[in-house]
């Protein structure tokens, strides 16, 4: 068995990781921590009652290194890199779900804060599985992509060679409230979000530079990314609509089939996708169509799973020499 741990076990993604690891045939959950600790996990998450009894401790690098071969860091940005640099030098493999290792230093510091671990930033592998699978297998530090960039890039990347990159792309993205995390804010109050939908940080959201940077890294294409996220009155799920201009008329379905024919967790649809069909799963559903040179791409994921926890687990499986799909959820959740 391979001993693994979770730091940040109190959040929504931390809970999803615990649930998947309970069913993992090769990973043994051997450590749980939050910034404060001193609680049992079944108290922290009542849904786990009678499924697991396990103490949640205050995060300690020495203890983590003693108990774990690999650890998931489900922490906010800045908090993650402070711990990660302590663990890397102790030989612990890391899958970081925060933004701390996703971006080049200049991009990160422009969007977030000064970086505390530039020494290891350069060795982090971006955890978008379909495009970095071989690099993830040999990595000791994987940076989980943001949920919006995951859904956007999986839909958009196959089309970049056919898109007119001199024209801007527009991304209309909608996410369930769980994407905002557990910390309460005015916009996530029930009385605000119920029967409501609204944009936030339009054209200024921090995921826009992440999307643009990865397009440039994977395809060498510089493109103007106009990204507008919205909050919707749903617990989980994410729907992304991308609008772009083609250089030539193509068959969008053929492009997607060529890109993802062998990818078992990408499902190509023949009509616009929806979030209920992917909720509770690791799948990304994608649909695309064109009208002349106008291209529309529609993609859907579960923001807590494919956008965070299950994508992190898939990366961990690869890092430890296991089948990528081990213990990943595939049955859609219908409330």
Both 251 and 313 in one domain: the answer is no
C-alpha to C-alpha distances, 1 to 5, 14, 69, nearest whole angstrom: 13, 21, 10
In a shared domain, residues 297 and 153 = yes
**Is 147 designated active site?**
yes
Residue 127: Cβ within 10 Å count: 29
Domain that includes residue 270, residue range? 148-301
Residue 324 lies in a domain: no
For position 334, what pLDDT does the model report? 60
Contact 148, 227 (CB under 8 A): yes
pLDDT digits (tens, 9 = 90+) for 103-127: 999 998 998 999 999 999 999 999 9
Say how far apart CA 93 and CA 97 lie, in whole Å.
Answer: 13
Is the distance from CB of 33 to CB of 9 less than 8 angstroms?
yes
pLDDT of 180 over the 80 cut: no
Q: Do residues 158 and 137 both lie within one domain?
A: no
Average pLDDT over residues 309-317: 98
Are 240 and 188 part of one and the same domain? yes
Residue 332 lies in a domain: no
Task: Work out whether strand 2-7 and strand 39-40 pair parallel, antiparallel, or are unpaired.
Answer: unpaired
Beta-carbon count within 10 A of 44 CB: 18
The CATH number given to whatever domain includes residue 213 is 3.30.360.10
Residue 261: inside a domain, yes or no? yes
Instruction: Report the sign of the C-alpha dihedral through residues 232, 265, 98, 16, in that order.
Output: positive
The verdict on 198 and 184 lying in the same domain is: yes
- CA-closest candidate to residue 48, choices 8, 21, 86: 21
Residues 181 and 230 in one domain: yes
| Residues 270, 152 within the same domain | yes
> Do 158 and 286 sit in the same domain of this protein?
yes
52 found inside a domain: yes
Residue 333 lies in a domain: no
Assess whether 250 and 315 both reside in one domain. no
* Residue 30 or residue 333, greater confidence: 30
The CA distances from residue 103 to 54, 217, 297, 317, in Å, are 34, 11, 25, 23
39 belongs to a structural domain: yes
The mean per-residue pLDDT over the stretch 228-251 comes to 95
- Pairing, β 55-58 against β 2-7: unpaired
3-state DSSP assignment of residue 311: helix
73 in Cβ contact with 7 (< 8 Å): yes
Quick one: 152 and 296 in the same domain?
A: yes
CATH of the domain at 79: 3.40.50.720
* 139 and 154 co-located in one domain: no
Residues of the chain with pLDDT > 90, as a percent, come to 84
pLDDT in tens, 49-67: 999 999 999 999 999 999 9
Model's pTM, two decimal places? 0.95
Q: What is the pLDDT of residues 141-179, one digit of tens each?
A: 999 999 999 999 999 999 999 999 999 999 999 999 887
Helix (H) or strand (E) holding 290: strand 284-291
Please report whether residue 328 resides in a domain.
no
Structural domain includes residue 277? yes
Count of the separate structural domains present in the chain = 2
Smallest CA-to-CA distance from 151 within 39, 317, 334, 311 is with 311
pLDDT digits (tens, 9 = 90+) for 6-27: 999 999 999 999 999 999 999 9
Pick from 266, 238, 267: nearest CA to 173: 238
Q: Are residues 85 and 46 in the same domain?
A: yes
Torsion of CA 88, 94, 96, 99, to 10 degrees: 40
Of the candidates 68, 113, 147, 284, the residue annotated as catalytic is: 147
């Amino acid at each position: 068995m391979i001993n693994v741990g979770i730091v940040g076990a109190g959040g929504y993604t931390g809970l999803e990781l615990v649930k998947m690891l309970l069913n993992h045939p090769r990973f043994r959950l051997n450590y749980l921590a939050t910034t404060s600790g001193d609680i049992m996990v079944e108290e922290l998450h009542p849904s786990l009652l009678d499924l697991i009894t396990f103490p949640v401790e205050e995060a300690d690098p020495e203890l983590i290194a003693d108990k774990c071969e690999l650890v998931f860091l489900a922490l906010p940005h800045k908090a993650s890199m402070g711990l990660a640099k302590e663990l890397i030098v102790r030989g612990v493999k890391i899958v970081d779900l925060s933004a701390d290792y996703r971006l080049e230093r200049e991009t990160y510091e422009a969007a977030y804060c000064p970086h505390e671990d530039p020494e290891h930033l350069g060795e982090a592998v971006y955890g978008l599985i379909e495009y970095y699978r071989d690099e993830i297998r040999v990595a000791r530090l994987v940076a989980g992509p943001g949920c919006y960039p995951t859904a956007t890039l999986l839909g958009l990347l196959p089309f970049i060679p056919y898109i007119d990159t001199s024209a801007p792309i527009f991304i209309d993205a909608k996410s369930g409230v769980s994407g905002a995390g557990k910390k309460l804010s005015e916009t996530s109050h029930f009385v605000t979000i119920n029967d409501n939908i609204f944009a936030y940080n339009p054209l200024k959201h921090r995921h826009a530079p992440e999307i643009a940077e990865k397009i440039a890294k994977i395809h060498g294409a510089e493109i103007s990314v106009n990204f507008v996220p919205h909050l919707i009155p749903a617990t989980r799920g994410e729907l992304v609509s991308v609008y772009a201009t083609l250089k030539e008329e193509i068959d969008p379905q053929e492009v997607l089939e060529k890109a993802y024919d062998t990818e078992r967790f990408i499902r190509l649809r023949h009509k616009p996708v929806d979030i209920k069909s992917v909720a509770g799963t690791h799948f990304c559903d994608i649909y695309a169509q064109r009208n002349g040179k106008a291209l529309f791409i529609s993609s859907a994921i579960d923001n807590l799973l494919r956008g965070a926890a299950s994508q992190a687990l898939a990366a961990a499986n690869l890092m430890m020499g296991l089948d990528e799909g081990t213990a990943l959820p595939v049955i859609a959740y219908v409330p």
